[in-house]
Structure 1
Amino acid sequence: MKVKVLGMIVAAALLAPQSGFGQDDPKIYENMEKTGPHSMEGTQAIEVEAKVIEVNRKTREITLKPKDGESMTVKVGDEVRNFDKINRGDMLRIRYLESLALELKKQGTAENMRDRSAEIVRSKPGQKPGGMVVEKVSAIGTITNVDKKKKNVTIKGPERSVTVQVQDKSILDQLKKGDQIEIEYTQAMAVSVETIKR
């Protein structure tokens, strides 16, 4: 789908490599849909379950064993309350949520920028341990060159310029020098504890 190609162009120019977006799992593009004549959005959710093998209350570290995978030790930050309720044998469900929104602004005038913010949402005292860290990256980049002969587009981000190949002529026809691309990428990680029924 054409919008996926444009999404990958923008992510390469404005987010990579600082955000880590798209480096390991580009599945978010599979769900990208047009939301307007010059905009699109995509979301994905990945859920992993892991059994608690060991809990170190002093260091706030837990060793986890996913159903399919090797054991790993993770440090649990203060944003996850009620750490004392996590016990060996509990099942942790870790859910990652990502969303990506893109909009092409014809002859935009905003300054190229990239901004990162984070918000912590915690469970209430007495509830099962849980927390969510929501990280948001916003960026604006400007198209500085559209070369239809070479089939490439150059996008200037806040820190660097990237030239990417675009084989689809219909996408090239939509883009012009001076157009701006606005992007908003959100990533969240939520953790909750479940009891394993034996």
Structure 2
Amino acid sequence: MLGKLLFTVAVTMAAQLAYAQPQTSVDVTKAPGQATVAATATVTATVVAIERDTRTVTLKDGKGKVFEVEVGEEARNLDQLKVGDIVTTEYKRAISLSLEKTSGPRSETQRLIEERTAPGAKPGGTVGHEVTVIADVVSVNAKAKSVTLKGPKGNTVDVIVEDPEQMKNIRKGDQVKVVYTEAIAISVQPGANQ
């Protein structure tokens, strides 16, 4: 339950911080039989006001835009936050397609990613989830550089595989592993005058 609450708070904060024009980056890595795409959006803002009774923090981004974020009870150490502190929020998404041969039934597993700051430290932490799916290869279209995968619930999805070397390793009837990760990390640094 705590994990769900932290994830809900993190997603709410990510949605509010999205208005602050984040810096984004996308990384693609390839290796034989594997490809990973990871995207990161980072927003940095300064704390300009704190309303402890309502747990509302007012932030100002580098372009002068001011916005409020409600911090839930499950977030530790709000009392350590001070006006002038720098809040950095990093939102990450990654998908990894591993073309290793596996056997057994199609499956899906989920893992909660959760790391909270120690009591007494500046507020922050990481929350997210990782989903691992073992899927069947239903079809391979080398010309279109796509593979159709069938997941454990019977749904199918087309995946683009840019690397022709990886396409050589995939055959109809094979199984592949897909890992999807989504997380948000929040850190607070003391302001310049502290």
TM-score (norm 2): 0.68
Change (3 A) 1:79 1:119: farther
What is the CA distance between 1:175 and its match in structure 2?
1.8
* Aligned residue number for residue 130 of structure 1: 124
* Aligned residue number for residue 65 of structure 1: 60
> What's the CA shift string for 1:130-186, capped at 9, x where partnerless?
222142121222111124566643211234212356687655433211112212233
- Alignment partner for residue 193 of structure 1, among 184, 188, 192? 188
SS of corresponding position for 1:31: strand
8 Å Cα contact 1:79/1:131 also seen in 2: no
What is the CA distance between 1:103 and its match in structure 2?
1.5
> What's the CA shift string for 1:28-77, capped at 9, x where partnerless?
4x33131xx32344556543210123323233222222214743322223
8 Å Cα contact 1:79/1:122 also seen in 2: no
Range with greater deviation from structure 2 (157-166 or 124-133): 157-166
8 Å Cα contact 2:33/2:166 also seen in 1: no
SS of corresponding position for 2:79: helix
8 Å Cα contact 1:105/1:179 also seen in 2: no
TM-score (norm 1): 0.67
Return the alpha-carbon distance in structure 2 between the equivalents of residues 184 and 140 of structure 1. 9
Return the alpha-carbon distance in structure 2 between the equivalents of residues 46 and 184 of structure 1. 20
Aligned pairs for 1:1-198 (under 5 A) are 27-28=25-26, 30-34=27-31, 37-41=32-36, 45-68=40-63, 70-106=65-101, 108-148=102-142, 152-159=146-153, 160-163=155-158, 171-197=166-192
Return the alpha-carbon distance in structure 2 between the equivalents of residues 148 and 44 of structure 1. 26
Question: Number of matched residues?
Answer: 170
Return the alpha-carbon distance in structure 2 between the equivalents of residues 69 and 98 of structure 1. 27
Query: % of aligned pairs identical?
Result: 33
What is the RMSD of the two structures over their aligned residues, measured on CA atoms?
A: 3.2
In structure 2, stretches of 5+ residues that fail to align are 1-22
SS of corresponding position for 1:178: coil
Q: Which amino acid aligns with 2:180?
A: Y
